[in-house]
Each structure stands twice: as structure tokens, then as C-alpha cells.
Amino acid sequence: MKEKILLGGYTKRVSKGVYSVLLDSKKAELSALTEVAAVQNPTYITLDQKGHLYTCAADGNGGGIAAFDFDGQNTTHLGNVTSTGAPLCYVAVDEARQLVYGANYHLGEVRVYKIQADGSLRLTDTVKHNGSGPRPEQASSHVHYSDLTPDGRLVTCDLGTDEVTVYDVIGEGKLNIVTIYRAEKGMGARHISFHPNGKIAYLVGELNSTIEVLSYNEEKGRFARLQTISTLPEDYHGANGVAAIQISSDGKFLYASNRGHDSLAIYKVSPLGTKLESIGWTKTEGHIPRDFNFNKTEDYIIVAHQESDNLTLFLRDKNTGSLTLEQKDFYAPEITCVLPL
């Protein structure tokens, strides 16, 4: 069986935009790198249920989201919604409300877009974050993530302020703050992933290489810290920045990518999700593993390396969480987002 996987990334060197690859799950092999859409710096990408592809996009001196129709093979450009300033770094679809959310790292903004009948977008709200953190990288707000909680609120991670903000989404796409969780100072809150039970979340800190295990109170929309655990071995003292985080759909294992140590940290998750236990690290066989994801069946993990321009394919043991290298030199340039179809 061959599965298609979409790839987004930078276009600073040789990449032209969004690509696809095929995964042969029987042969444990990636093949057929194919250009899907020409777009500038589609560093994060997502699909809705109607086959609309939304990507972060740079556009001259502005940035925003590019929208495409995608039939599984080819794309038709529906247009860009951009504004002055740097492009977004994260996009997510809200199917129930027919909205798209975007995070703007450089401007410290959260943006909300309404999906139109043809799949194009209309900006409905922009919320500016303020504040800073103790590290040089935290001179101002840097919103790095904006996606839904299991109960349908919007949650954002701000690397610059070490804050996780929960919003109610009102009407046609207006945001109203519910709560703000303050992570450890200097953490660099980057992404958050929820346990399948919806009551526990895992917040990854880019700047201090940790994961905070958080309880989530749906009634109040409030997070509280339960545990902090490192993503690095005790004997590693080099530079590192954590990037992506994923939890298996059965809630048994969690993975995080280390850029610098160039590894996936692997954790066993307690039955209720409230505690992580480190079970080791697997080297990713490339430099700067910016993103990774499971395939549809979660038998494999595909890791994308932003600097060494290669994908690595691992077979995943669903009983132990361990990874076995299957392929490491598949060429894919400047990739920063892995999206299985």
C-alpha cells in the first residue's frame, strides 16, 4: 500500500514550495518526490475535509496564508490573504466553525480567517500579544502555535512570553481570552499536544529543552503543571532547540524532536497521561529535525531535516514505542512540515 505525504518548508535555497512523497508501507520505502504547489516559504501546511490546502506563505513584503484546491494530485491556487510583515509559522483548520487560524511568530499575532464558499479566506480577527521573556530570543512576543483544544477552544503558544493562552471563539471568528498559563520563564513555549483523553496536554519548550505535562480543566479552560521533564540526555551539553511533539493515538507513547542533538526523544506515557517516563533517544540521521509525523497507521514515523535536506523513515513498535531505522537519505529540501494524507 502506498500512502501520500505532503511536505512544506522554506524556499530560501532550492525548494519551490509544497511537495508530496509516497510511502510504501510494505517495502518501508519513501519515493517519488513531486512538486504540488509553487508557493514562497510554506513552512506549515494543513488540509480541510473538502480538499482545500492552506499554507503559510510569503508574498513580496508581506505574509499570510495561501489557499489551494487540492484533488490529491494537483492544486489550483485560490488566492493569498496577506498583510505587511513577516509570514505566519503555523496554520490550523476549524472544521466546525469553518475557520483557519494562523500564528505569526515575528509580529506576535494570532489571526483568524473565515473559509469562503470557494475555499478562499477572509481575515476576521487579529489579536496582538505583548510581553517578553528573560532570554535574548524573547525580546518580544513570538506566537508559534494556534490550534484547537479538544473542547473546541483556541490555544496559542508564545515562545517570546512563555505563555499559553486559551481563547473562546465567538461568532464568525472573533477571539476572547479565557485564561493564560505561564510556563517556566525562559522555556520558549513552542507547541502543545493533547492526550487522547482531552484532559492532559504536553507543552514543549524550544529554548530550555523540556516538556511540561499539564492538566486541562475544560470547564474553566485552565492549564496547571504536573511535571517537567528534559528532552535531552544528562550527558549532552551542546546547543539544542526542541521543535515538534507528537503523541500516539492510543496515548501510550510521546515523541519530541531535538534540533542540535538531532534526535527523537521517546517517552512512555502513564495510563492517565499525567506522567512521562523517558525511554531513550533515537538519532534521526540528519541535521535539524524540524518536524516529524506518524503515517496513517502509526506504524512509521517520517522525520524531516531542514538543513541536511533529507527525510528519515523509522518503523515504530507500537508495543514498546521504539524506532527502527528503515531509510535515511531520501532527498527533500528545506522541509519543516510533514502532513500525512
**Residue range 319-335, pLDDT digits in tens:** 999 999 999 999 999 99
Total number of domains constituting the chain:
1
Q: Indicate the SS3 state at residue 107.
A: coil
pLDDT band of 59, cuts 50, 70, 90? confident
CA 150 – CA 159 distance, rounded (Å): 22
Range of the domain at 189: 2-340
**What backbone phi and psi angles, to 5 degrees, belong to 217?**
-90, 105
Take residue 58 and report the three cell numbers written for it: 510569503
Structure confidence at residue 61 (pLDDT)? 78
Provide the CATH number for the domain around residue 56.
2.130.10.10
**Residue range 277-307, pLDDT digits in tens:** 999 999 999 999 999 999 999 999 999 999 9
CA 205 – CA 159 distance, rounded (Å): 8
In 3D space, the residue among 96, 123, 120 whose CA is nearest the CA of residue 112 turns out to be: 123
pLDDT band of 309, cuts 50, 70, 90? very high
**DSSP letter string, 170-201:** ETTTEEEEEEEEE-STT--EEEEEE-TTSSEE
Please give, one letter per residue, the 3-state secondary structure of 50-73: CCEEEEEEEECCEEEEEEEEECCC
Sign of the alpha-carbon dihedral angle for 325, 331, 334, 338: negative
Structure confidence at residue 60 (pLDDT)? 78
Take residue 32 and report the three cell numbers written for it: 517519488
pTM of structure: 0.97
